[in-house]
A and B are shown apart, each in its own frame.
Chain A
C-alpha cells in the first residue's frame, strides 16, 4: 500500500467513525502486512508463456487487421476442450452432452406436464379401496417414487444453459424429439445420452 492509498484508508475509516489513532494504526497494519506478503510472494508467469501469449496476441491482431476490425466471430473455434489433467476431449462430445442435457430437461418437463394434466383432467377418485391398499401398498409407493425422481433432478442452472443453447443454435424442438411421439422421443433421448441412467429415466426397466 503506497502513501496515497494509506491516507485514503485513514480518511475512509475516519468517515466511518474511527478515531484518528485507530484509523492510522489500522492503515499501518494493513500496509505492513502487505509488505510482508509481497516479500513472500515469488510467483510470476514463466517468460516462455508470456512470449507465447504475446505472439498469439500479435497474430490475432494481424488477422483482425486483415478483416478491418477485431471480430468475435473470427475467433478460431477450438477443436478440443482442454482438461486440467492435461488430456483433451473433442468439442463435439461437449456438444452431445449439452444436447443430452437439453433432451433430459424437455423429456422430464413433458413427463411432469402430462402428470399434472392427468391430475387436473381426471379428478382424484379419493383414497383407493381399503382392499387395494392392503393388497398392494408397494405399487403406490413405487409409482410415487418413479414419478418424482426425474422431476427432482431438474436444475435451474441446467435450464438456463439449455435456453442459452437454444437461443444460440435456434433449435427446433420438434426436430429434436419427433412430432408428438413419446416412443420416438424416448428412443432419441436414450440414443443421444447413451448412459444407463438416461435409459432408466426413459424406461424404468432399463431398455429404451
Chain B
C-alpha cells in the first residue's frame, strides 16, 4: 500500500470505518498469516492468532501515531503474540511436569499443541507440511524468528534488530547464514 493511501486508511480506521479495516486485513492479513503459520506450524493456530491480532488492532489503532512505521509496529505486535504463546506453552509444560493428571484437560492441551509444534509428529498424523516448514524447524529458534520477521514483514534489519534487541550486524549475519542453510536443506530434499 502506498504511503499516502496507508496514512488515509489508518486515519479512517481510527474513525472506526469498517471498509478501512477490511483494506488493512486484505493488505496485511496474508503476510501476517504466513508469519504465524511458519512460526507455529499450525493452520488452526495461525488463524486464531490472526483473528486475535485484528481484534487487538481494533482496540489499539486509536493509540497509534502514524509516522511511516506502520509495518514494524504491526509485526512487533505479531512477534509479541508469538512470544506470549511460547511462554504460555512453557507454563503449561511446567504445570504438567508438576503433577497434572492424565485426565486433566490441561494435560491434553499440552499434548495436542506439542503434536502440532513438532513437524515430525505432524507428518505421522498425515498433516500437510511443505518443504519450507520442515527446513525452518531445523534452524535455531532465534534464527528462525529473525528470518521470518524479515521475510514476511519486509521491515529493515535495523527495525528487526531494535525489536529483538540485538545488534544490526547480528541480525544480518543470522539472516544470511540462516537463509543459506534453508536453501541448502530445501534443495537437497528436492533432489
Contact = CB atoms under 8 A, between A and B. Distances in A.
A191 interface: no
Given A29-B176, A33-B183, 9 more contacts: A12-B158, A43-B37, A45-B47, A57-B21, A61-B17, A83-B105, A84-B45, A93-B105, A195-B99
Contacts of B94: 155, 157-158
Most chain B Cβ neighbours within 10 Å, of A5, A85, A161: A85
Interface residues of A, number: 52
A84 B157 contact: no
A95 interface: no
Interface residues of B, number: 61
Given A16-B168, A158-B91, A40 B132 contact: yes
A153 interface: yes
Interface of B: 16-18, 21-22, 25-26, 29-30, 33-34, 37-38, 42, 44-48, 50-51, 54-55, 58-59, 62, 87, 90-91, 94-95, 98-99, 101, 104-106, 108-109, 112-113, 116, 130-132, 150-151, 154, 156-158, 168-169, 172, 175-176, 179-180, 182-183, 186
A26 interface: yes
A25 to B, nearest CB: 10
Contact of A43 (B44, B54, B105, B130): B130
Interface of A: 5, 8-9, 12-13, 16, 26, 29-30, 33-34, 36-37, 40-45, 49-50, 53-54, 56-58, 60-62, 64-65, 69-70, 72, 75, 82-86, 89, 93, 97, 101, 153, 155, 157-158, 161, 195-197
Q: Kindly name the residue among B37, B99, B182 whose own CB sees the greatest number of chain A CB atoms within 10 A.
A: B99
A60 B101 contact: no
A57 B18 contact: yes
Chain A interface secondary structure, helix, strand, loop or mixed? Answer: helix
B109 A84 contact: yes
Contacts of A29: 176, 179-180
A50 B25 contact: yes
Nearest to B104: A195
A97 B54 contact: no
Contact of B105 (A13, A58, A62, A89): A89
Given A45-B33, A84-B44, A195-B99, A12 B16 contact: no
